[in-house]
Structures are given as structure tokens and as C-alpha cells.
């Protein structure tokens, strides 16, 4: 039997500062869907949640099907950009990608 002495969790970038990587991933996801927005505009919305970020940046309501596509694309972009880093598993909330 394995004895576990502790669990280490990274809560919202406390251990790994992933905000810039998330902003780049969002900007790339927007560009791939025809929205050209600045990194700075996206970066200023990091931490608000994907649905609020999408609404603030490209004015899509969270129930719009394209908003879900953008959210999924962001996760895939983030995973691709961080594959070689310790933050690669950070984006585990879309297990089907």
C-alpha cells in the first residue's frame, strides 16, 4: 500500500504563473475563429472565467455555440503551448481533447 503524505495543488497560478500562456492561447483561439484581438486585451480578462472573457473580448453570450467552440479551442491551444512545461496538465478540464 502506498502512503500519501500530502497533495500539492496549484490554485489559479500560485505555483505556475500561467496567465500569459492562457492569454496567448485565447488570442490564438480567437484568431483561428476569425477574431483578431490584441494580447493585452485578452490578458486583461484572464482570471474572469472563459465565458466572461469571451463575452468581454468578442461580445458572444455564453450560450452561443461559437463561444463553446472558442472555449474548447483555447484549451487545445493552451495544451499545445505548454506541452513541454510543468504546466502541461494544468488544462485538464476538457478531458476529451
CATH number at residue 61: 1.10.150.240
- List, for residues 40-90, the tens digit of each pLDDT value: 999 999 989 889 999 999 999 989 999 888 888 777 777 776 654 444 444
Could you tell me if residue 46 is inside a domain? Answer: yes
Could you tell me if residue 1 is inside a domain? Answer: no
* 42-76 CB burial, b ≥16 within 10 A, e <16: bbebbeeebbebbbebbebeeeeeebeebbebbbb
Could you tell me if residue 48 is inside a domain? Answer: yes
Could you tell me if residue 94 is inside a domain? Answer: no
pTM: 0.68
Q: Does 40 or 24 have the greater pLDDT score?
A: 40
Pair 52, 61: CB distance under 8 Å = no
Domain holding 76, by residue range, is 19-87
What is the model's pLDDT at position 96? 39
Structural domain count of the chain: 1
Could you tell me if residue 11 is inside a domain? Answer: no
Pair 77, 39: CB distance under 8 Å = no
Amino acid at each position: 500500500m502506498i502512503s500519501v503524505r500530502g497533495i500539492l495543488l496549484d490554485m489559479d497560478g500560485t505555483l505556475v504563473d500561467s496567465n500569459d500562456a492562457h492569454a496567448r492561447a485565447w488570442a490564438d483561439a480567437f484568431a483561428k475563429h476569425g477574431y483578431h484581438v490584441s494580447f493585452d486585451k485578452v490578458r486583461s480578462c484572464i482570471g474572469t472565467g472563459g465565458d466572461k472573457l469571451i463575452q468581454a473580448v468578442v461580445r458572444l453570450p455564453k450560450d452561443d455555440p461559437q463561444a463553446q467552440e472558442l472555449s474548447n479551442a483555447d484549451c487545445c491551444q493552451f495544451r499545445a503551448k505548454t506541452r513541454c512545461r510543468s504546466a502541461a496538465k494544468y488544462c485538464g478540464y476538457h478531458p476529451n481533447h
